[in-house]
């Protein structure tokens, strides 16, 4: 049976505590310490050297947020007091980050690559090797945006789960 999981199921913070039983498990995430891009090739080894383990979702998300903010601060030439200009710079930055380019849609939601990862071994440790990339994923994925937005907001009552409690 194939085992699959979400991004935190085998985040690097979890993976480092597992053994070979994790080999071959597939997960999806917007980050992997194994991403092959120039920024991550500097970040991940430096993190590993300092902390003695691979960066995962939690370290990556903080670093990505910092990169997006830094790009916006540079765009506004450090004028962070102009809140409208700062927000426009954040939303329009298309910042290069350790996860790849991060953009924002008109609703303020992130657009970026999403990765299918497979647990393999590299340098004697378990890693989340990227086996497939879905570029520029939005909150709408493959759904028609107009049709999607016609639906009620997701809540405990929508979509209805009619067979849970009877």
Q: What is the pLDDT of residues 40-90, one digit of tens each?
A: 999 999 999 999 999 999 999 999 999 999 999 999 999 999 999 999 999
How many C-beta atoms lie closer than 10 Å to residue 24's C-beta? Answer: 11
The strand pair at 100-104 and 95-97 is best described as: antiparallel
Residue 86 token pair: 């700062």
**Residue 154 backbone phi and psi in degrees, to 5:** -60, 135
Cα-atom radius of gyration of the chain, to the nearest Å?
19
Q: What are the residues facing 95 on neighbouring strands? A: 102
Pick the range with the lowest mean pLDDT from 33-42, 135-144, 156-165: 156-165
Question: Do 102 and 110 meet the contact criterion of CB atoms below 8 Å apart?
Answer: yes
Rounded to whole angstroms, the Cα distance separating 119 from 51 reads 21
Report the chain's mean pLDDT, rounded to a whole number.
94
- Kindly report the pTM of this predicted structure: 0.88
């Amino acid at each position: 049976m194939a085992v699959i999981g979400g991004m935190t199921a085998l985040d690097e913070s979890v993976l480092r505590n597992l053994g070979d039983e994790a080999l071959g498990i597939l997960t999806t995430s917007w980050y992997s310490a194994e991403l092959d891009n120039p920024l991550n090739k500097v970040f991940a080894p430096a993190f590993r050297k300092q902390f003695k383990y691979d960066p995962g979702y939690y370290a990556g998300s903080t670093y990505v947020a910092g990169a997006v903010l830094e790009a916006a601060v540079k765009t506004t030439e450090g004028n962070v007091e102009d809140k409208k200009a700062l927000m426009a710079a954040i939303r329009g930055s298309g910042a290069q980050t350790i996860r790849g380019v991060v953009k924002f849609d008109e609703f303020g939601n992130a657009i970026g690559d999403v990765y299918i990862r497979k647990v393999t071994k590299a340098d004697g440790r378990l890693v989340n090797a990227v086996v497939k990339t879905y570029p520029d994923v939005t909150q709408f994925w493959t759904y028609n945006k107009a049709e999607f937005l016609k639906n009620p907001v997701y809540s405990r009552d929508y979509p209805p789960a009619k067979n849970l409690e009877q």
